[in-house]
Amino acid sequence: MDEMPCIHAVAIIRDRKLISYDYCSNYYIKESLLATYEGIVYLVGNQNTWQVPKEVEEVLLLAPEGIVKSRRPKKRRNLSTWETKKSMKCGRCGQYGHNRKICRNPPKRH
């Protein structure tokens, strides 16, 4: 198990007076976090003094494919599978599927 229990599971663990650290990964205990930073970190020095192997120098790195187009954000969000679409009725034209704020139809004449 490489994760932590959700907040609901922690509540049940505490309710039963158990130790919550027994139910999470060893990566999250205090000793493991401290051990992560106990090693020595060496400085890399000035880039001009680096000794880069020839095969690494010759590797050509290209930009990722695809262009992210800048555009206006969506006015409506995509519904999740568990959500139902509400059928709304416009107060201006009387049609279903939109409201008076985004209505493009001419007002209904009485």
Contacts of residues 27-31 at CB distance under 8 Å and 24 or more positions apart, as own/partner, are 27/2, 28/4
Say what the pTM is. Answer: 0.31
Domain boundaries, the chain: 1-39
Beta carbons of 75 and 101 less than 8 angstroms apart: no
User: How does the average pLDDT of the chain come out, rounded?
Assistant: 83
Summarised one tens digit per residue, pLDDT across range 13-59 is: 999 999 888 888 888 888 888 898 888 878 888 988 888 899 998 99
Beta carbons of 108 and 92 less than 8 angstroms apart: yes
Contacts of residues 77-82 at CB distance under 8 Å and 24 or more positions apart, as own/partner, are none
Q: Does the structure show a pLDDT above 90 at 108?
A: no
Summarised one tens digit per residue, pLDDT across range 54-75 is: 999 899 988 888 777 788 877 7
Summarised one tens digit per residue, pLDDT across range 67-107 is: 777 888 777 777 777 776 667 888 888 888 888 888 888 87
